[in-house]
Structure 1
Amino acid sequence: MDGLANLATTVGNRFATNLRGSFTDLTPEKVIRIVIIAGAYLLLRPYLVKLAGRAQMQSHEEEAARTEAEAKVKISPNELRGMVNIPEDTDEEDDPAGQASGPDWGKKARRRQREIIKRMLEAEEQRLRETLEEQEDKDIEEFLDKE
């Protein structure tokens, strides 16, 4: 306890001595130098903050673009289901004016096209499932090899 009191008085004495010495050695040149430095800091600080904010915003935008690109690459079968619009199995014309906007396909052609789209979706889902299973197998093998 005595050492702690000694330390506190030593620190207090040194602080008071250094503070007093700083003000007694203050010459007009040092005062002008301090005023110039403080003024320059106050004038330049807003511009530096703006510049840093702009750089940070650009960094965040690049990171967001990178994560968005990675998210587009890694797509699950469930996410794929909502992205592709499969036409309904109706054979009625959708255009109220009776004019077709594209080629005039017959009923069989529309059905074939729907089937092709469904098969493509199923194949993509199967491929994604297999790659996911392979990744899980690799993870399991990694843990088994460690033992």
Structure 2
Amino acid sequence: MASNTNAQSIPDLLSTWAGNFSRNTTSAFAQLRLKDYVRLITIIGAYCLLRPYIIKLGGKLQAKAHEADSADHGDIHPNELRGGKIEIPGIEDSEDEEEDEEFESKPGDWGRNARVRQRKFIREALAREEERLRLEAAAEDDKDIEEFLVD
């Protein structure tokens, strides 16, 4: 039953708002004097005339801010972003290996244990893959040699 009263009150509320809006706008313009009309036209005219200049000024300020931001980042060639060498964290970092051995937990080093575990995992995975490739290459060389010896 409460939803029924809410459904009836919403159209009543909307009609009240519409009535207030129309009454307030018509009474606002009906009570304006000549001085008020001149003031309103002056404000609207000044806005229309100054708006393009304000937008251009904002654009210039934004362009300067963008140039300052891009200057801070340095020049990066697009090819460096596309196909540059991918660095794997922790690979060929002798400092990190030494730090891994002497690792002591510090309050400000959140996630450091996870980074260390990830580096060790990547090193081990790369070592296993290199070993597998080395063994495959050795087996392939043995097959080539065996082929010449058997014939």
Q: State TM-score, norm by structure 1.
A: 0.50
The structure, 1 or 2, with the larger RCO (C-alpha pairs under 8 Å, 6+ apart) is 1
